[in-house]
Amino acid sequence: MKTSQSLLQLVCRAPYKRTFLRNFKLITFNIQRRNYASLENETVKTAEIHKNESSKAVNYTTDIYTHLKRNPNFKELSPDDIKFFQSILSPSELIVDNGNNQDDLIPYNTDWMKKYRGKSKLVAKPKTVAQISKLVEYCNVKKLAIVPQGGNTGLVGGSVPVFDEIVISTNNLNRIRSFDPISGTLVCDSGCILEALDNYLAEQGYMIPLDLGAKGSCHIGGNVATNAGGIRLLRYGSLHGTVLGLEVVLPDGTILDNLSTLRKDNTGYDIKHLFIGSEGTLGIITGVSILTPKRPKSVNVAVFCLNSFQNVQEAFIISKGELSEILSAFEFWDINALKLVKNHLVQGANFPLDDKYPFYVLVETSGSNKDHNEEKGVVKDGVVAQDNTQIQNLWAIREGIPEAGSKSGSVYKYDLSIPVPVFYNIVEETSNRFKDAGIFGKDKLVTDVFGFGHIGDGNLHLNIVAKSYSPEVAKLTEPYVYEWTEKHKGSISAEHGLGLMKAGCIGYSKSQKMINMMKQIKQSIDPIVSIGSKTIQTPAIEKRVADAYIGTVKFIDKRLPVITGAITPVL
Amino acid sequence: MKTSQSLLQLVCRAPYKRTFLRNFKLITFNIQRRNYASLENETVKTAEIHKNESSKAVNYTTDIYTHLKRNPNFKELSPDDIKFFQSILSPSELIVDNGNNQDDLIPYNTDWMKKYRGKSKLVAKPKTVAQISKLVEYCNVKKLAIVPQGGNTGLVGGSVPVFDEIVISTNNLNRIRSFDPISGTLVCDSGCILEALDNYLAEQGYMIPLDLGAKGSCHIGGNVATNAGGIRLLRYGSLHGTVLGLEVVLPDGTILDNLSTLRKDNTGYDIKHLFIGSEGTLGIITGVSILTPKRPKSVNVAVFCLNSFQNVQEAFIISKGELSEILSAFEFWDINALKLVKNHLVQGANFPLDDKYPFYVLVETSGSNKDHNEEKGVVKDGVVAQDNTQIQNLWAIREGIPEAGSKSGSVYKYDLSIPVPVFYNIVEETSNRFKDAGIFGKDKLVTDVFGFGHIGDGNLHLNIVAKSYSPEVAKLTEPYVYEWTEKHKGSISAEHGLGLMKAGCIGYSKSQKMINMMKQIKQSIDPIVSIGSKTIQTPAIEKRVADAYIGTVKFIDKRLPVITGAITPVL
């Protein structure tokens, strides 16, 4: 291995040299090329682990959120409806509640955080787009509520039913349709698992421009529907930049054929962007065309610990300046997150980091040329040696943080975009609120508050671990966290989406004018409204939470019933 | 200068080594770092040159396209209307036809290609967004047609009036609002000139992620409104990926405040994407927030000539694989384009390229590290020496192609996305059509057919030089070129937009379902329709061409009157 230059030295270049030399301590070097394929196989797969655990003990969403009322305009499932579903789907593509098969339905009714649980009696798992089109058309005519579901790895309660909505799962819609090795354009069904796509692309020398902890379970369609961000956004940009086309089943069953593979096409409005991040409220994404980048030939990783959040910011600025086009990840976590991982996931002697520094950053570089990357990203000989196991562990720390939190208790997750200078303040201030209320401590209601996230994107994940989901905790964080974010011109949902959790909170991040325009667009795609009928009826897809909000969420004055339809991601 | 490795060698790596060594000839090396700032100052500024020439001789659009009929629902300008405009705008912000000032109005009524000329009698050049809001609201109430105009550098007749539409120019809306040197986020008025922004950013160590020939004149708002592509798209992606927020005046005068600086914000539908590429038909963009990348510290350029288009493709595949993250441009042109530039622009001994090869490619690399880039992009010593002048000339060839065409005659421009394998066929086949018709040759109606463009984006610019704009030429190219493009699943507008030129041709690249959805969206934002009135009235902004198409374009059966509203870019 070539080790000609120190990453520490690189990061410590003028004018920050003195500051950084005082405050940095290099914990470990991991300069061997990261083997994407093998790493992925060993990655902690949060969602899968949780899938295998029983979810029978989870409370029904309607029992916890008692203000949610079912919209009586939606009819209940009848024997005739079931017959129709049976005429479209084979027995293996359909689960119908028969009184004895609750266990089969639970995985589709419950989210992996065990925070939300619906009461659906029918799960459809079609294999073709034509089937989905027929089912959606039928539901729309019959006024049967639907919730689309992908890998069900969402964090905001958007992918599971609230009441008795029919679940349309993309589990069986998992075909790779085409790949062009010259342009790097991949076209696939929306139910393809992210990691499966990446493994397929690896064989062609390409990679999927998106990477996140749930990659072993989440579907590409759900990623698009929620505009998932993840750890590669810094380098490859958002899905608005990489998705080239989408195929979507609209609420009236129309199949929108916008599955372009062209990198440039300026003919009319670029409709696909409406569906990216719309969380399934405007239609069900069934096909995705995406531009994939060349797989880096060389990947280097290092982790630093730092003495202040100011240092974290400085490290990012310098890394961005010096590493520029080869910087592929700049992740951060705090000591509380580290301790949780150490205690719950990676116990023993092979844990590579000391837990005595307040902040940690993981820097990854990747590029086309092994030698050049090593020159850019390599550290000196003689500092902590490394092997593959240790590299895996380093990544496992970052990717295991959400799971470590969940193992420790019931987790409140806030996914915020915040200007970097005040980025970490919300973690400290939230902790103080619990301390002041006397409910923070080892044997108290709240046991942990920690922060981690993507510095490069201004995306903080604020997590609060409690003994159980409780109004006492929620009262101290909501709307406090949302108001704080609004005050600092941030976003209350950076990458998780609104879901059921934040459906009523859009007003903290979007103006009334913007919300009005969203309503106009929603109405224009609404199959009843759009054909010009005077009677504005409730469409089948995605109004379920709008309907749910017939009740009142007292602390959120800004909730907007219609737009709260933005809550049923395919993720 | 360090010259340790040959770009030729790099490009000629296995498995293409033999093929490439046989077919490549390295014409010149330009390995000195490109000085962006000085280069820009000397760039051939096509639009500016044309602005200074008299446009009095240009025919009125309605005299050439006689099927266009003015919509009588729009009222004509009255003395009271002029008084209102005078109450909002200062004398320097307003040009009103007084019978003696035709010369002042001509630059706003005429496009730089001298293909389109309108008859507007009032040009408003507001300095503030509030003024624009008031003017648009007034026009909407009074049913006065408007055309928004930015730098007026568009190629499809979208930025000039057809009839007597009022011109709202963003010329005076040119303030930089803020720049954050940590995140690289720039917020500015839509009337800022692209090159001025780039010069501003250069001082901060950043660059605008967009570069095109008209940079000295075009406005960032027009770039966004037409989703301009240019030579940096290969590296930095489309504006859908880099634009973070927009401020837009809607047709009813509402100022939509979506000027976010957040890189991630998943709260509801991402409305801004509707305006990117909508060519001004949904509102007037007044403010832009855009993420800018770090300015490369080192830029290298080389030009190759090749013996076949197959070689051009092979060169691209290898360059993409080997240069990956530092490849910043891969431009191509054919021998006919080269000869035009040589004859009309860069005469004399300093012309650096032989005009005896059929194809030429310009490869640019840029990165954060001078040494590494030179190792990646540098060529051997001993091959044609280079100096700054020669580098300028190389870039001037590529950027001068459109101007050289215009100096040679009246140019028909087709801007196509085509799969790369059949990319160049359309140029050859179009030439053959003119030859077969006996109108192609030095003293004939058509004097030149040439192709150039962005290989990496699949974007071909097919240009036909004629003695004059003539139905005989158009008959042979339209709908032929559009049908050919449709057959190969391409786009009839890669980056120029539809404009007046292709307003009726959207059906060649978009399905009826897609067009229906665009209509729904247009109607939902339409100020009359959207408030639920039964009477669907014509809104002030942007229906002018839909209205214009009350007549019939005979050869295009797929034209769609309502959606043809997509034609008034701010560019």
Set of chain A residues whose Cβ sits within 8 Å of the Cβ of B257: 511, 513-514
| Contact (CB<8Å) A523/B518 | no
Please determine, for residue A233, whether its predicted confidence score (pLDDT) is greater than 50. Answer: yes
In this prediction, residue B12 has a pLDDT band, given cuts at 50, 70 and 90, of very low
Percentage of chain A beyond pLDDT 90 is 48
Span B546-568, average pLDDT: 27
Percentage of chain B beyond pLDDT 70 is 76
Q: Which among A62-76, A100-114, A438-452 has the top mean pLDDT?
A: A438-452
In this prediction, residue A320 has a pLDDT band, given cuts at 50, 70 and 90, of confident
Mean pLDDT taken over chain B: 78
> How far from A569 is each of A220, A299, B312, CA to CA, in Å?
12, 33, 43
Q: What is the pLDDT of residue B555?
A: 25
Spatial separation of the C-alpha atoms in residues B448 and B188, rounded to whole Å: 41
> How far from A566 is each of A146, A492, A539, B432, CA to CA, in Å?
13, 14, 14, 54
Shared domain for A202 and A232, answered yes or no, is yes
The alpha carbon of B274 is separated from its chain's Cα centroid by a whole number of angstroms, namely 18
Set of chain A residues whose Cβ sits within 8 Å of the Cβ of B277: 266, 269-270
Q: Which phi-psi region, left, alpha or beta, contains residue B99 (left: φ > 0; alpha: ψ -120 to 50)?
A: left
Q: Which of A:216-275 have CB within 8 Å of B?
A: 226-227, 229, 233, 237-238, 240-242, 254-258, 260-271, 273-274
| Contact (CB<8Å) B457/A264 | yes
Q: What is the pLDDT of residue B28?
A: 34
| Contact (CB<8Å) B518/A226 | no
Set of chain B residues whose Cβ sits within 8 Å of the Cβ of A495: 264, 266
Nearest residue of chain A to residue B510 (CA atoms): A267
Which CATH number is B477's domain given?
3.30.70.2740
Which CATH number is A21's domain given?
3.30.70.2190
Which of B241, B372, B490 is opposite residue A372, by nearest beta carbon? B372
Mutate to test the interface with B, among A5, A10, A260, A266 (most CBs of B within 10 A): A266
Last residue of a domain, one of A403, A425, A445: A403
CB A321 within 8 A of CB A11: no
Span A510-535, average pLDDT: 66
ipTM, two decimals:
0.85
| Contact (CB<8Å) B182/A313 | yes
| Contact (CB<8Å) B523/A525 | no
Span A363-385, average pLDDT: 47
For every residue of B215-268, DSSP letters joined together read TTT-BHHHHHHTT---TTHHHH--HHHHEEEEEEE-TTS-EEEE----S---SS
Does residue B328 belong to the interface with chain A, where contact is any CB pair within 8 Å?
A: no
Q: What is the pLDDT of residue B17?
A: 29
Q: What is the pLDDT of residue A19?
A: 29
| Contact (CB<8Å) A458/B258 | no
Span A392-408, average pLDDT: 82
Residue with tokens 């060839």: B397
CB B448 within 8 A of CB B340: yes
In this prediction, residue A16 has a pLDDT band, given cuts at 50, 70 and 90, of very low
Q: What is the pLDDT of residue B151?
A: 94
Greater confidence (B238 vs B31) lies with B238
Nearest to B500 by CA among B210, B159, B167: B159
Spatial separation of the C-alpha atoms in residues A452 and A334, rounded to whole Å: 6
Greater confidence (B145 vs A56) lies with B145
Shared domain for A416 and A385, answered yes or no, is no
Residue with tokens 């490439």: B20
In a domain, B121, yes or no: no
In this prediction, residue B366 has a pLDDT band, given cuts at 50, 70 and 90, of confident
Q: How far is B266 from chain A (nearest CA, A)?
A: 5
Which of B238, B255, B323 is opposite residue A241, by nearest beta carbon? B238
Span A175-180, average pLDDT: 96
Does residue A170 belong to the interface with chain B, where contact is any CB pair within 8 Å?
A: no
- What DSSP element (H or E) covers B484? helix B480-487
Q: What is the pLDDT of residue B369?
A: 62
Please determine, for residue A153, whether its predicted confidence score (pLDDT) is greater than 60. Answer: yes
Residue with tokens 């903080």: A460
Shared domain for A335 and A365, answered yes or no, is yes
Does residue A512 belong to the interface with chain B, where contact is any CB pair within 8 Å?
A: no
Task: Sort strands B327-334 and B446-454 into parallel, antiparallel or unpaired.
Answer: antiparallel
| Contact (CB<8Å) B237/A241 | yes
| Contact (CB<8Å) A240/B273 | yes
Does residue B129 belong to the interface with chain A, where contact is any CB pair within 8 Å?
A: no
In this prediction, residue B364 has a pLDDT band, given cuts at 50, 70 and 90, of confident
Does residue A501 belong to the interface with chain B, where contact is any CB pair within 8 Å?
A: no
Spatial separation of the C-alpha atoms in residues A447 and A423, rounded to whole Å: 22
In a domain, A485, yes or no: yes
Please state the domain count of chain A. Answer: 3
| Contact (CB<8Å) A324/B368 | yes
Shared domain for A222 and A284, answered yes or no, is yes
Please determine, for residue B8, whether its predicted confidence score (pLDDT) is greater than 50. Answer: no
Please determine, for residue A524, whether its predicted confidence score (pLDDT) is greater than 60. Answer: yes
Q: How far is A55 from chain B (nearest CA, A)?
A: 28
Last residue of a domain, one of B496, B529, B553: B496
Lowest mean pLDDT segment, chosen from A321-330, B135-144, B444-453, B504-513: A321-330
- What DSSP element (H or E) covers A222? helix A220-225
Does residue B441 belong to the interface with chain A, where contact is any CB pair within 8 Å?
A: no
Q: How far is B537 from chain A (nearest CA, A)?
A: 15
Does residue A294 belong to the interface with chain B, where contact is any CB pair within 8 Å?
A: yes
In this prediction, residue A242 has a pLDDT band, given cuts at 50, 70 and 90, of very high
Q: What is the pLDDT of residue B1?
A: 28
Shared domain for A469 and A427, answered yes or no, is yes
Spatial separation of the C-alpha atoms in residues B183 and A540, rounded to whole Å: 42
| Contact (CB<8Å) A264/B369 | no
Shared domain for A387 and A326, answered yes or no, is yes
Nearest to B302 by CA among B556, B27, B533: B27
Measure the N-to-C terminal CA separation of chain A; round to a whole number of Å: 41
Nearest residue of chain B to residue A526 (CA atoms): B520
Q: What is the pLDDT of residue B300?
A: 73
Greater confidence (A2 vs B45) lies with B45
Q: What is the pLDDT of residue A105?
A: 95
Which CATH number is A281's domain given?
3.30.465.10
Q: Give me the residues paired with residue A460 across strands.
A: A416, A453
Q: Could you tell me the two tokens for A56?
A: 């029978």
Set of chain B residues whose Cβ sits within 8 Å of the Cβ of A523: 524
In a domain, A504, yes or no: no
The alpha carbon of B531 is separated from its chain's Cα centroid by a whole number of angstroms, namely 34
Please determine, for residue A465, whether its predicted confidence score (pLDDT) is greater than 80. Answer: yes
Please determine, for residue B376, whether its predicted confidence score (pLDDT) is greater than 70. Answer: no
Lowest mean pLDDT segment, chosen from A24-28, A490-494, B558-562: B558-562
Q: What is the pLDDT of residue B95?
A: 98
Torsion angle, alpha carbons of A535, A538, A541, A547, to 10: 160
Span B535-546, average pLDDT: 36
Mutate to test the interface with B, among A257, A258, A264 (most CBs of B within 10 A): A264
Other CB atoms within 10 Å distance of the CB of residue A445:
18
Does residue A441 belong to the interface with chain B, where contact is any CB pair within 8 Å?
A: no
In a domain, A108, yes or no: no
Q: Give me the residues paired with residue B447 across strands.
A: none
Per-residue pLDDT tens digits for B381-397: 212 224 455 556 677 78
Residues in chain B: 571
Percentage of chain A beyond pLDDT 70 is 76
> Per DSSP, which regions of B250-398 are E strands?
255-258, 284-291, 298-306, 327-334, 359-367
Please determine, for residue A29, whether its predicted confidence score (pLDDT) is greater than 80. Answer: no
Mutate to test the interface with B, among A267, A415, A491 (most CBs of B within 10 A): A267
Span A539-558, average pLDDT: 31
Lowest mean pLDDT segment, chosen from A61-70, A267-276, B417-426: A61-70
Does residue B524 belong to the interface with chain A, where contact is any CB pair within 8 Å?
A: yes
Q: Give me the residues paired with residue A117 across strands.
A: A110
Shared domain for A192 and A277, answered yes or no, is yes
Last residue of a domain, one of B258, B291, B324: B291
| Contact (CB<8Å) A268/B515 | yes
Please determine, for residue B552, whether its predicted confidence score (pLDDT) is greater than 90. Answer: no
Please determine, for residue A290, whether its predicted confidence score (pLDDT) is greater than 80. Answer: yes
Set of chain A residues whose Cβ sits within 8 Å of the Cβ of B266: 226-227, 277, 491, 493-498
Q: How far is A373 from chain B (nearest CA, A)?
A: 9
In this prediction, residue A31 has a pLDDT band, given cuts at 50, 70 and 90, of very low
Inter-chain contacts counted by CB atoms under 8 A, chains A and B: 258
Which of A226, A420, A515 is opposite residue B266, by nearest beta carbon? A226
Q: What is the pLDDT of residue A43?
A: 33
Per-residue pLDDT tens digits for B164-208: 999 999 999 999 999 998 889 999 999 999 999 999 999 999 999
Does residue A183 belong to the interface with chain B, where contact is any CB pair within 8 Å?
A: yes
Lowest mean pLDDT segment, chosen from A181-185, B14-18, B414-418: B14-18
In a domain, B270, yes or no: yes
In a domain, A82, yes or no: no
Mean pLDDT taken over chain A: 78
Show Cβ contacts of residue B567 under 8 Å, excluding neighbours closer than 6 positions.
B156, B157, B158, B279, B281, B497, B498, B499, B500, B503, B542, B545
| Contact (CB<8Å) A459/B263 | yes
Shared domain for A200 and A259, answered yes or no, is yes
Q: Which domain holds residue B451?
A: 409-496
Set of chain A residues whose Cβ sits within 8 Å of the Cβ of B260: 491
In a domain, B216, yes or no: yes
What DSSP state is assigned to residue A346?
S
| Contact (CB<8Å) A229/B264 | yes
Lowest mean pLDDT segment, chosen from A273-277, A373-377, B333-337: A373-377
Does residue B375 belong to the interface with chain A, where contact is any CB pair within 8 Å?
A: yes
In a domain, B433, yes or no: yes
Spatial separation of the C-alpha atoms in residues A162 and A62, rounded to whole Å: 7
Which of B229, B372, B506 is opposite residue A264, by nearest beta carbon? B229
Q: How far is B78 from chain A (nearest CA, A)?
A: 32
Spatial separation of the C-alpha atoms in residues A435 and A429, rounded to whole Å: 10
Q: What is the pLDDT of residue B350?
A: 58
Please determine, for residue A546, whether its predicted confidence score (pLDDT) is greater than 50. Answer: no
Please determine, for residue B50, whether its predicted confidence score (pLDDT) is greater than 60. Answer: no
Greater confidence (A422 vs B374) lies with A422
| Cis check: omega of the bond before A539, within 30 degrees of 0 | no
Spatial separation of the C-alpha atoms in residues B478 and B474, rounded to whole Å: 6
| Contact (CB<8Å) A267/B493 | yes
Q: How far is A104 from chain B (nearest CA, A)?
A: 32
Q: How far is B442 from chain A (nearest CA, A)?
A: 34
Nearest residue of chain B to residue A418 (CA atoms): B262
> How far from A507 is each of A479, A498, A558, B246, B436, CA to CA, in Å?
12, 11, 5, 18, 64
CB A459 within 8 A of CB A452: no
Q: How far is A124 from chain B (nearest CA, A)?
A: 26
